[in-house]
Amino acid sequence: MRMDVKQPQIVNITRESLLDDGVRVRLEQQYKSLPFLTAEQQQESLAQCLSQWCGEQAVYVFAYGSLIWNPAIHCEAVGTGRLFGRHRRMAMRSMFGRGTPERPGLMLTLLPGGCCDGVVLKIESSRAVEELSLLWRREMISGSYRPRWLPVRSKQGVLSCLVFDHNPDHPSFIGPMTFEKEVEILSQASGPLGPNKDYIYQTVQALNHWQLRDARMSRLEKALRACEF
């Protein structure tokens, strides 16, 4: 007899769900066996990052994935920027976002080499601590990134931006894979944040809106849409 696969409960990332820490709480309830950072561990990570900030100037964040189209914090998109020495790639497993432990999806991260075009988000200094705390609740649920301050070239000049860089020591990091394998996983995986392929569609749409181009992401979108027919 065929057993129906239980669909994960949908979790929406909004400012409200970050304020009450509802994203992490609901994901922990669904996936009790997976490692999550505690609220205290998230704050320790944030404090370490903020120790390199003067506390008086605005904070700039380099957005290269979902932060472009759904930052869920109070910020201003001030324009595009280019990060040298890193490129965008689906190189992390997603077991509680766009996938499940039984069928993991893929998440974007940054890998060494090349360059990456994205959007620069500005957080006013007076709101930086509160907004970054929410950003940590969103991006550092399991500690899969290494937050770093890196130079980003923009119309405003070279800005020191907060970047969620790859963390090769994290269990979710798998590194680059073939294009065909990416399409196979992305076309099938789905999780509490929705279908994995939708993440590609929304990211490419956001890049197009800012007149940015990522050849591999565009290829993934076309291949995934072709799989739907």
Q: Which residues contact 41 (CB under 8 A, 6 or more apart)?
A: 143
Query: Which one is catalytic: 40, 130, 139, 228?
Result: 139
CA–CA separation, 202 and 68 (whole Å):
9
Per the listing, tokens 């980003």 go with: 152
Q: Which residues of 8-34 are buried (b: 16+ CB within 10 A; e: fewer)?
A: beebebeeebbeeebbbebbeeebeeb
The Cα diameter of the chain in Å comes to 64
CA–CA separation, 115 and 33 (whole Å):
36
Would you say the C-alpha torsion 67, 58, 50, 80 has a positive or negative sign?
positive
Please indicate whether residue 139 is annotated as part of the active site: yes
Q: Give the β-pairing of 59-63 and 157-166.
A: parallel
CA–CA separation, 218 and 224 (whole Å):
10
Cβ burial of 180 (10 Å; 0-12, 13-18, 19+) is exposed
CB-based contact 94:172 (threshold 8 Å): yes
Q: Give the residue numbers annotated as catalytic, written as ranges.
A: 139
